[in-house]
Amino acid sequence: MAATSARRVLVYGGRGALGATVVKHFKAQGYWVGSLDFANNEDANGNVSITKSESLLEQEQEIVSGVKSLLGDSKLDCLVCVAGGWAGGNAAAEDFIKNTDLVLKQSVWSSAIASRLASLFLRPGGLLTLTGARPALEGTPGMIGYGMAKAAVHQLVRSLAATNSGLPEGVAAVAILPTTLDTPMNRKWMPKADTSSWTPMEYVAEMLHKWVENQDRPASGSLVSLITANGQTKLEFS
Amino acid sequence: MAATSARRVLVYGGRGALGATVVKHFKAQGYWVGSLDFANNEDANGNVSITKSESLLEQEQEIVSGVKSLLGDSKLDCLVCVAGGWAGGNAAAEDFIKNTDLVLKQSVWSSAIASRLASLFLRPGGLLTLTGARPALEGTPGMIGYGMAKAAVHQLVRSLAATNSGLPEGVAAVAILPTTLDTPMNRKWMPKADTSSWTPMEYVAEMLHKWVENQDRPASGSLVSLITANGQTKLEFS
């Protein structure tokens, strides 16, 4: 299905838990929704499938070419990048470097490519959202690679918000900084955790939808922490 | 020459402009000095040569094995990581992704591997110094990949300074944050610049030497900006 309807959003990581929730939410609101991931999301109006995973440059070329084919001459109102993952380890951990490599690919590569896509395919005044992590605002000794990757994403958003960053006129670039999302995987791996401090994915999807519609959209460059306690989520801007 | 003398320092990036200055300086102070780089530094007492450049994991394995052979059962007093480089570009630049890939390898890979080496080969109470960049404390729209890479290094130092980071007891991890160093390449490429605001490499080498000797060593986790004006350099800690 071509990208012909009025409002268009592309979800980078549209097959992940949060990404799939975002795809569904925007679809239900009447958006044309594209999904970009290693596998297709059948709920989306269109898909770009990633096959290159070993070279950042090859991956970017494949993705830019795929998004160009998907969109034709249309522009996006919003690019939501929720690609990512998690891997832990301190400097003494046997898998520290292996996990660092993984999280760099998951978070830094995807965020850099998303920035490139934003420069090419967002309409003026559009929105780019990336995904950071609240713990990475400070040191993260038990998940060193993950903290580095997310800190890079935080600084990227500051760069994109500054003059001459290469984004189209009036585009806002912001990062959402979850602590723990209420996903099936987190429930599986942390069965005894207090889930009342986990942020519901539907909350995130609805928030992003409002921002696209220019309701309460944060200033470009904002890092928006999602802080959930007793089942209530509040936002903290930095 | 084996690593048998009392004080030992390994310079990661020992063939670069700053690295070679650091190697010479410590040699002149009577240290055993190892150099780790893509090419050997003949001024060093010993060298580890890097041949793997496409895979972080392979590069780490090669380097750990090489350093182990070089040191035997000896431990390092200090690991100075001054590996790095520079590449610019905003999100609209044709070479944005290519340059991002380059600076990630130059700064993030080297800093992560240096952290791993520190966990394996530093003596208790030793010193690890990494290299950040003062501009990356804020957004860097004209050099987006570089800013991301250096912001990751800054956060890494915070992680390493925290409890259970995997470093040996009492090791301090700090980052030096130059703005512009007075190197031959910078003089070549910026022939009209005001070099009175550039930081002399010998100043950096002498500062590092003092820190190793526990003179004015900053607290672990410090980001130490080098600010030079009118030929005078002062330090700012954050």
> How many whole angstroms separate alpha carbon B48 and alpha carbon B69?
9
Catalytic residue at B146? yes
Q: Give the domain B8-237 fold.
A: Rossmann fold (3.40.50)
Residue A5: what pLDDT? 55
Instruction: Please report which confidence band the pLDDT of residue B66 belongs to, taking 50, 70 and 90 as the band edges.
Output: very high
Residue with tokens 């007075």: B182
Helices A56-71 and A110-121 meet at what angle, rounded to 10? 40
Per-residue pLDDT tens, chain A, 238 aa: give them.
Answer: 444 557 999 999 999 999 999 999 999 999 999 999 999 999 999 999 999 999 999 999 999 999 999 999 999 999 999 999 999 999 999 999 999 999 999 999 999 999 999 999 999 999 999 999 999 999 999 999 999 999 999 999 999 999 999 999 999 999 999 999 999 999 999 999 999 999 999 999 999 999 999 999 999 999 999 999 999 999 999 9
Q: Which residues does chain B have within 8 Å of residue A147's beta carbon, measured at their own beta carbons?
A: 155-156, 158-159
Confirm if B21 and B204 have CB atoms less than 8 A apart.
yes
- Annotated domain spans of chain B: 8-237
Eight-class DSSP state of B51: -
Rounded to 5°, angle at Cα B83 from B77 and B85 = 160
Residue with tokens 């958006």: A31
For residues A22-58, one letter each, b for 16 or more C-beta atoms within 10 angstroms of the residue's C-beta and e for the rest, the string is: bbbbbeeeebbbbbbbeeebebbbbbbebeeeeebee
pLDDT for B92-146, tens place per residue?
999 999 999 999 999 999 999 999 999 999 999 999 999 999 999 999 999 999 9
> How many whole angstroms separate alpha carbon B105 and alpha carbon B111?
9
Q: Which of residues 45-64 of B touch A (CB under 8 A)?
A: 55-57, 60
pTM of the model: 0.96
Residue with tokens 């995987």: A185
> How many whole angstroms separate alpha carbon B172 and alpha carbon B224?
13
DSSP for B144-209, please give it: HHHHHHHHHHHHHHHHHHSTTSSPPTT-EEEEEE-S-EE-HHHHHH-TTS-GGGSEEHHHHHHHHH
Q: Which of residues 166-195 of B touch A (CB under 8 A)?
A: 166-167
Instruction: Please report which confidence band the pLDDT of residue B6 belongs to, taking 50, 70 and 90 as the band edges.
Output: confident
- How many residues would you count in chain A? 238
Locate the chain A residue with the closest alpha carbon to B60.
Answer: A97
User: Which has the closest alpha carbon to B162: A103, A193, A108, A136?
Assistant: A136
Locate the chain B residue with the closest alpha carbon to A160.
Answer: B141
3-state secondary structure chain A: CCCCCCCEEEEECCCCHHHHHHHHHHHHCCCEEEEEECCCCCCCCEEEECCCCCCHHHHHHHHHHHHHHHHCCCCEEEEEECCCCCCCECCCCCCHHHHHHHHHHHHHHHHHHHHHHHHHHEEEEEEEEEECCHHHHCCCCCEHHHHHHHHHHHHHHHHHHCCCCCCCCCCEEEEEECCCEECHHHHHHCCCCCHHHCEEHHHHHHHHHHHHCCCCCCCCCCEEEEEEECCEEEEEEC
Nearest to B158 among A100, A112, A138 (CB): A138
How far from B32 is each of B71, B78, B168, CA to CA, in Å? 11, 11, 21
- How many residues would you count in chain B? 238
Interface with chain B: mutation pick from A52, A96, A148, A163, highest number of B CBs within 10 Å: A148
Helices B96-103 and B144-161 meet at what angle, rounded to 10? 30
Interface with chain A: mutation pick from B64, B65, B100, highest number of A CBs within 10 Å: B100
* Dihedral sign of CA atoms A214, B145, A90, B56 in order: positive
> How many whole angstroms separate alpha carbon A204 and alpha carbon A17?
12
ipTM, 2 decimals? 0.96
Share of chain B above pLDDT 90, in %: 97
Instruction: Please report which confidence band the pLDDT of residue B5 belongs to, taking 50, 70 and 90 as the band edges.
Output: low
| pLDDT at B1 exceeding the cut of 50 | no
Strands B172-177 and B46-49, bridge-based pairing: unpaired
CB pairs under 8 A between A and B: 169
